[in-house]
Amino acid sequence: MKHFLLLVTLFSLTWHVTLAQKKNEDYKLHIQKASSPIVIDGAMDEQAWLDADVATDFFSILPMDTSFAKVRTDVRMTYDEHTLYLIATCFHGPIEGPYYVESLRRDFSFGKNDNFLLFMDPFDDQTNGFSFGANAAGAQWDGIMYNGGSVDLSWDNKWTSAVKNYDDRYVFEMAVPFKSIRYKNGITNWGINFSRLDLKTTEKSSWAPVPRQFPSASLAYTGILVWDQPPPAAGPNISVIPYTLGRVTKNYEEGTDADVTGDVGADAKIALTSSLNLDLTINPDFSQVDVDRQVTNLDRFELFFPERRQFFLENGDLFANFGYSSIRPFFSRRVGLGVPIQFGARLSGRINRNWRIGLMDMQTGKVEKTALPSQNFAVMALQRRVFARSNIGFLFVNKESINYTPDLSSDKPVYSQYNRNMGLEYNLATSNNKLTGKALFLKSFSPDVKGQDFTQAANLQYSGRKLTVAWQHEYVGKNFTAEAGYVPRKNFIRLSPQVSYNFFPKGKLLLSHGPTLGTYTVFKPDFYLTDNTLFGSYNFVFRKQEKFTVWRGYDYVELLFPFDPTNSGKDSLQTGSKHNWASWGTEFSSRPQSVFTYGFSTRYGGYYNDGTRFNFTTDIGYRFQPYVSIALSSSYNKIVMSEPWNTTKFWLIGPRLDVTMTNKLYLTGFLQYNDQQDNVNLNARIQWRYAPASDLFIVYTDNYLPTPYEPGLFNVKNRAIVLKFTYWWNI
């Protein structure tokens, strides 16, 4: 604990040295109440727009951040009693030609689309906010912002927009109801910035200048939206989102008849204040959520897959971002995986400018087949802002089995009565974002467990224009347990320093190049070495935005448990066996402005037990813009070892098709062939957004064995089709 307090003190002192006024406080856009009604049609023909203040003279971020942008962008904002409006005029640059877009699908890939985005910080805390925008074809983008510059695009809400193309420009116009965002009543200064990406000139620009080493979404560099009066109170805001569905499933492996079921459920959103929201769910269903992208698993520890379910996402950073990528005391995917969620509630948002709160309670049902009892997951998070952009957070997680008495005489699994986690963390972010870091302390509580049940970790990173230096260390105790979290490894100390440097040549070919060096070292708590990876890479970024990296690595591993290096069930290497090898590889991605994009990565070198491993991955895409996007990803692994493994080959192939008939009607289909899991997965989904945030889904899923019964036929494992109808109803 004393180390944790020492780091907090160090970070606080560092903050005071670098504390400064808000970087772009001289960039102000004045917003006044609309002088006329506004129709969202992409035409700037209303008097309200002619009367509005204009944000123009954008600054270039990329390729270089030392001048004004080559492409002109003008932005105006206004409002009425219920709605916030924005119109952006995006003029053509000096290079002629069509705009580049992937498709009409919402929440597009930023780097592969000409687009305009708004980043909005309604509390002016430079940490949390909202993002809205569209690509040049009108596909919408919306997300919730956290960590001072990250955008979670899984967040969804009600708003409208239109994009209209002209000979010399395209115009984006949008209307966001005040009820769709969270903000504190009475605040007349909001943090705000606008981002424009023009792929023909490969220029990314922003209204308030942002250094090139940071994303344009960085809330540390917003300007100020100055209201002529406090924004209107959102008023009573209750939304009910019911759903109904029908499902047909058939398990061919068990030879059972088709199972036809129907279901109903609902979510509700209740705005207790303009900045504090209560979410409720009864019998939720997530059948329409994208399935996980499969990977070839050659890792010794559990893999991480991101949360995609809508209920867990708003203000999700309060819960999910506590800790580090491999030390998460709460991971929402632990709730409801293969288990029915009966109901849940979440209170989240801001109490005031300095305090955020998150309370969540989820109840799951029994699973008779595995004797899994009904369980309750309760989480409490508090976050207190300190200084300009830093905060202190507290988290408590409780997972408890309800009315459960294990049957020790049975061969069925035995589950814990409870598991609890309590933690405190300090998040550092200086006003210029160049210094960021975190210090963390966690303790777990489980029946009959005492001692070595805590975790301590910290990191600090300096991000300069040319130099980036990072340090991170982690300690996880032998008995630390987070059953509702993600902690794949215990009983270790890990050190991972890294440094990189960029050169900026004056030639026309390269934008930047430079080396990265780092190490990843793992010890037992007595500092006995078990793992070490030493790596170095050289990175090239071209002016047309192609990227190429070549790297070299050296690995040492002492196994702490038996491990099959192919994860194919052939045999396992013994505990305590020691292995070391060298390897090298490359990575390349093509220019994003082409309709044909491609990338690859290679790896070749040693592997466990004096073996060798060759890996080659590809990502290929082609788009018939803006309606059709075709992508193909593949991965090939060849592992050569002594008996009994000999030569093992794994293919992973995943073609994907996106068809966007309009920006409200989508067809997505993809096939995943996983040689390692001996499975072929087919998933197809039609989504019709017939009203704002209201959808009709048709989802078809098949799983096959790759080995056919006879030539031309696949062996079907299981099959399902779901018809789901949702409606967002404002009361």
Strand 498-501, strand 492-495: pairing = unpaired
The first and second tokens of residue 111, run together, are 């780097």
At residue 17, the pLDDT reads 40
Q: Which of the four CATH numbers 3.40.390.30, 2.60.40.1190, 2.60.40.10, 2.60.120.640 does domain 2-227 have?
A: 2.60.40.1190
Question: Rounded to an integer, what distance in angstroms lies between the CA atom of residue 480 and that of residue 410?
Answer: 28
Mean pLDDT in consecutive groups of 10 residues from the start of the chain, 731 residues: 44 43 84 96 95 96 92 97 96 87 88 94 89 95 90 86 94 94 87 95 95 93 95 83 94 87 92 86 84 82 79 79 93 86 92 90 89 93 90 96 81 87 95 93 91 95 95 96 94 97 91 96 96 97 93 96 90 94 97 90 95 97 90 96 93 93 90 89 93 92 75 75 92 78
At residue 535, the pLDDT reads 97
At residue 461, the pLDDT reads 96
Q: What is the DSSP letter of 606?
A: E
Place of tokens 């929402």: 332
At residue 22, the pLDDT reads 65
The first and second tokens of residue 519, run together, are 């190490």
Are 159 and 692 contacting, i.e. CB atoms less than 8 angstroms apart? yes
pLDDT digits (tens, 9 = 90+) for 105-139: 888 889 889 999 999 999 888 888 999 999 999 99
Q: Is 165 helix (H, G, I), strand (E, B) or coil?
A: strand
The first and second tokens of residue 715, run together, are 């062996």
At residue 1, the pLDDT reads 45
For residues 24, 28, 177 and 352, what is the CA-based torsion angle, rounded to 10 degrees?
60
At residue 506, the pLDDT reads 87
At residue 7, the pLDDT reads 47
- List, in sequence order, every beta strand (DSSP E) within 402-509: 418-429, 435-445, 454-463, 467-476, 492-495, 498-501
Q: Which residues neighbour 705 within 8 Å (Cβ) at sequence distance 6 or greater?
A: 678, 679, 680, 714, 715, 717
CA dihedral (426, 216, 464, 495) positive or negative: positive
On the CB side of 449, how many CA atoms lie within 13 Å of its CA? 20
Question: Rounded to an integer, what distance in angstroms lies between the CA atom of residue 303 and that of residue 168?
Answer: 49
Q: What is the pTM of this model?
A: 0.85
Q: Which of 510, 507, 516 is nearest to 540 (CA)?
A: 510
At residue 15, the pLDDT reads 42
The first and second tokens of residue 651, run together, are 């293919």
3-state helix, strand, coil in the chain (%, to 5): 5, 50, 40
Domain spans of the chain, in order of start: 2-227
What type of residue sits at position 492? Answer: F
Question: Rounded to an integer, what distance in angstroms lies between the CA atom of residue 320 and that of residue 305?
Answer: 13
Question: Rounded to an integer, what distance in angstroms lies between the CA atom of residue 318 and that of residue 334?
Answer: 17
What type of residue sits at position 110? Answer: F
CA dihedral (670, 672, 673, 678) positive or negative: negative
Q: Render the burial of 494-508: b for 16+ CB within 10 Å, e for the rest.
A: bebebebebebeeee
Q: How many residues does the chain have?
A: 731
